[in-house]
Structure 1
């Protein structure tokens, strides 16, 4: 089962990813984590990425796709994987599709969490208030100002992926505003057919 989770920050992708990992036994792949691991391991792609990051440059799409390509060869990804936070642009989606095609590992589905942005802001404010009430520091990206900036970036860069994947027939929208357990249930029903295919 090879899937991508799409949706703005705060849509619940992280929460649902953890549940998919537990339910279907496939790893969640974060490009940030993979980049750091490749740099730490000193892989050829990691060395190249490190020199770029050290100079303050953005890591180009082909390097990120190369890191994903290496990671999905590992044994825990044999039955599939969840990509969350990548691709972020249509160009990345195109490069990812070409790499997966070369490996004979096409995507099964792209799940898009449909959410109400105004309600999301309320959700983030509530999460920040609950964190403070527990006496814990609030994540920098959980302040309303930072969150709005992240939302704007998502709308500009990543939202076009919705139309891109709809055009490929892979897009599966899901109501991200439903209660968490209901979202999980819908997600499991949606993904169940792909488990048999990939296993």
Structure 2
């Protein structure tokens, strides 16, 4: 089983590249937002607990999210690996994820970080805002604040995985195919 964490600031092309990686490598996409919505909709014990917490306006604790990830891993024994999206976001979450994966006899194979200049991100997001209907893609100061917030949050996760030599920075500017090819090259090095 080969597991990947894909990082990238808003507008880096993470969604586009995730889809291509999932299709190429037969990975299961693990988005914590999707997991939460699915567990709540299925009215599972974890989903009901998460809903109660969210209804109080609080953040869902790491152990609940890790429990949902554990359930998703167990529910997909045939998966060739998982692509983690939106998790982990803190050092504590990184440690909890690693501990869980060790229990399942697997680990994170690589952390791929898409690197895109702030000016390019702003340009892409403003452009996306013309058609996405997302209000947070139409205001340059909001976009810049999102990018700053992303950098603050993800630096700690990259630092955590850097100690295990698992972080690879991939240029996120160029054509979709050029970026995809660079990501595949990094994955293939680790698969062989």
**How does the TM-score come out when normalised to structure 2?**
0.91
Distance 1:91 1:104, change over 3 A: same
Residue in 1 that maps onto 2:144: 148
- Which residue among 164, 168, 172 is the counterpart of 2:164? 168
Deviation track 1:58-117 (CA, whole Å, cap 9, x = no partner) reads 101111111111111123762111001111111211111111111111111110111111
Runs of 4+ off more than 6 Å: none
Partner SS, residue 39 of structure 2: helix
Structure 1: give runs of 5+ residues left out of the alignment: 132-136
Residue in 2 that maps onto 1:182: 178
Partner SS, residue 79 of structure 1: coil
Moved more, 142-151 or 116-125: 142-151
Residue in 2 that maps onto 1:46: 47
Aligned residues: 190
Residue in 2 that maps onto 1:61: 62
Deviation track 1:106-153 (CA, whole Å, cap 9, x = no partner) reads 111110111111221112122223x2xxxxx52123122332222122
Moved more, 169-178 or 151-160: 151-160
User: Over aligned residues, Cα RMSD in angstroms?
Assistant: 1.7
Residue in 1 that maps onto 2:188: 192
Give the distance between the partners of 2:163 and 2:154, measured in 1 at CA.
15
Give the distance between the partners of 1:155 and 1:100, measured in 2 at CA.
25
Contact 2:88 2:97 in 1 (8 A): yes
Structure 2: give runs of 5+ residues left out of the alignment: none
Give the distance between the partners of 1:47 and 1:10, measured in 2 at CA.
32
Contact 1:11 1:113 in 2 (8 A): yes
Deviation track 1:36-60 (CA, whole Å, cap 9, x = no partner) reads 1011112221121111011111101
Partner SS, residue 163 of structure 2: helix
Q: Does 1:86 align with 2:87?
A: yes
